Amino acid sequence: MGDKREISRRTFLNYALMGTGGFLAAGMITPMIRFAVDPLLQGHAGGDKVAVGSPDEFSAVPKRVEFKVHTKDGWYESESTLTAWVTKNEKGEILALSPICKHLGCTVSWGTGPGQPNEYFCPCHMGRYTINGEHILGTPPTASLDEYETEVKDGKLYLGKVKANPRPGVTG
């Protein structure tokens, strides 16, 4: 009918120790894996956009605004201060530009360039941009200034994530 196969005491102890060791190892490793993977499983906090003021505060002249964003990188949480140059054209469309130069990452400012009072100017290597953030050909930057996503809601202007500026360079 069936052959009974007996196991020796040594084999039984090996099985028992291996099973117990595996159980203990799984009990120790599971929390470690959970700790390592937990930040990836967490949902992002709602509200990707930050209010920076009323749309009526802005005009055709660029205005520098600073705002704070809550940043979470794994287990590290911080609050960063960001800056944007915000303008509103005659149609009421709002444009918010990042002040980070596309050449080497210096900070641009409005109207400080020698001989170009109506342009963004990067003092590091004499980079120039138009009011719409277009890089001026023949100057060091090779791309236009990035822009923030904008949204007007409940009488406030909200700035979101930075996106690439689709405008090409222009001759200056």
Query: What is the per-residue pLDDT across 81-113, written as a single tens digit (0 to 9) for each?
Result: 888 889 888 888 888 998 988 888 888 888 887
Q: Are 136 and 120 in contact (CB under 8 A)?
A: no
* Mean pLDDT across 134-147: 86
The string of DSSP letters for 83-109 reads: EEEEEE-TT--EEEE--B-TTTSPBPE
* Mean pLDDT across 157-170: 82
What tokens does 64 get?
Answer: 């520098």
pTM of the entire structure? Answer: 0.66
Q: For residue 42, what pLDDT is reported?
A: 62
User: Residue 82, Cβ neighbours under 10 Å: how many?
Assistant: 18
Q: In what order do the strands lie in the sheet with 147-153?
A: 50-53, 156-163, 147-153, 94-97, 76-88, 63-73
Q: Are 64 and 57 in contact (CB under 8 A)?
A: no
**Cβ-based neighbours of 7, under 8 Å, separated by 6 or more:** 15
Tell me the pLDDT tens digit for each residue of 24-83.
999 999 888 887 777 666 655 445 788 888 888 888 888 888 888 887 776 778 888 888
